[in-house]
Amino acid sequence: MPRILITTDYLRPGDEADRYLRKHGHTTVHAPMTGRRDTAQLVAALEGIEGALVAHEPLTADVLSRAPHLRAVVRTGVGYDSIDVAAAAELGITVSNLPGVNAGAVAEYTIGLLLLLLLLLLATARRLVQSAAGVAAGGWPREDGHELRGSTLGLIGYGAAARALVPLARAFGMRVLCTTGVPRAERTDAPVRFVELPELLAASDYVSVHTALTERTRGLLDASAFRRMKPTAVLVNTARGAVVDEQALADALRGGEIAAAALDVVSEEPLPADSPLRDADAITVFSHLAGQTAEARAAAGIQGAAELVAALAGHPRSAVNAHLLPHTPTARRDG
């Protein structure tokens, strides 16, 4: 019976995904990832394993090469940047993700986070706290504020969550810009103006990140990017932490190059004690919660189990390295 390793921490023995795998003749081994694992720990966990449902473990070329029985890996989410997909293909290992599995959850979370920031910034723009404090102190302050209507939201990426933000922004009377690699024929939102990144950064009052982490996007928002932004601009990232150069972000906030940032993701999770983000004012860091709803988790578990069964049978439906695999993806080159 093929042995399946499950490291995603919210998947449990006896749950729907576990029952599905066992129903299809697999033996499940649960080893929840609750923190960083070193190479030796990962290799030990993969001993005798043919398929794996994984979280964010760094499945490097070294780790994969030392797991001779492994034939299929499924990420219980969308991002797969922690897996060396090219090395996996060289070894005949299929790597799949679950595109769109948590799009609704991420979209709702991003909307909520942006709404929270908008409310906080609205309070700041209209000087509500200062006014209340002035009245409490016996005064009657009457300074001018600023309106959100007419401001600009810049979307980096054009996935499901980014598209869900468009009607929200329009409801606030905001203009929407977007920079994306999506083909022009698929850019269907009439209210959105598609521009290059430099123009988006210079024009946006709020910049929201929704792009995948690739070699092209790693460190995309660096010191030069922050220098292009307005000093009153706000950054929101619910995509991947490494899209943002965190030291450059901290420096930009200290130097007044931008006003604030809200990050659901960081380059190293959990956030290290020595992270430059910890000492920077106007940064709020959340614990990677965007896709963490009961509904999204349940869907990821059962869809991941189904994809793993299909992949082990030689018929993966969402293999991200299919174009790199040998003609017989279920046969390991090393035996």
- Active-site annotation, residues: 240, 269, 288
What is the DSSP secondary structure assignment for residue 139, as one 8-state letter? -
Cis peptide before 58 (omega within 30 of 0): no
Token duo for residue 217 = 């996007």
Within 8 A by CB and 6+ apart from 49, the residues are 3, 4, 5, 29, 67, 69, 70
Spatial CA neighbour of 162 closest among 117, 194, 127, 202: 194
How far is residue 283's CA from residue 237's CA, in Å, rounded to a whole number? 11
* Backbone CA torsion sign across 127, 130, 134, 139: negative
DSSP 40: H
Angle between helices 294-312 and 16-23 (to 10 degrees): 20
Report helix, strand or coil for 309: helix
48: left (phi over 0), alpha (psi -120 to 50) or beta: left
